[in-house]
Amino acid sequence: MFIFGNKQCDLNTPRVMGVLNMTPDSFFDGGSYFSGGKPAIDLALKQAALMVKEGADFIDVGGESTRPGAVAVSEQEEMNRVLPVVEAIVRRLDVVVSVDTSSAAVISEVAKLGAGLINDVRALQRPGAIESVVASDLPVSLMHMQGEPPTMQAQPSYLSVVDEVVGFLRHRIACCVDKGMDKTKIIVDPGFGFGKTLEHNLQLMAALEKLNDLGCPLLIGVSRKSMLQHITGRSVEQRLAGSLALATIAAIKGAKIFRVHDVKETVDVLKTYAAVYSNVG
Q: Active-site residue 92, yes or no?
A: no
- State the pLDDT at residue 242: 98
- State the pLDDT at residue 153: 79
Confidence bin at 36 (pLDDT 50/70/90): low
Residue 34 has pLDDT above 80, yes or no: no
Catalytic residue among 15, 122, 172, 259: 259
Listing DSSP states for 87-143 in one string gives HHHHHH--SEEEEE---HHHHHHHHHHT--EEEETTTT-STTHHHHHHHHT--EEEE
- State the pLDDT at residue 24: 75
| Average confidence (pLDDT) over 179-187 | 98
Instruction: Tell me the pLDDT tens digit for each residue of 95-109.
Output: 999 999 999 999 999
Q: What does each C-alpha distance from 69 to 107, 122, 192, 195 come to in angstroms?
A: 24, 16, 16, 11
| Average confidence (pLDDT) over 1-24 | 93
Q: Active-site residue 259, yes or no?
A: yes
Residue 27 has pLDDT above 70, yes or no: no
Catalytic residue among 122, 172, 225, 239: 225
Query: What is the C-alpha to C-alpha distance for residues 82 and 39, in angstroms, rounded to an integer?
Result: 8
Domains recognised in the chain with CATH numbers: 2-277 (3.20.20.20)
- State the pLDDT at residue 281: 56
Please state the pTM of the whole predicted model. 0.94
Instruction: Tell me the pLDDT tens digit for each residue of 115-136.
Output: 999 999 999 999 999 999 999 9
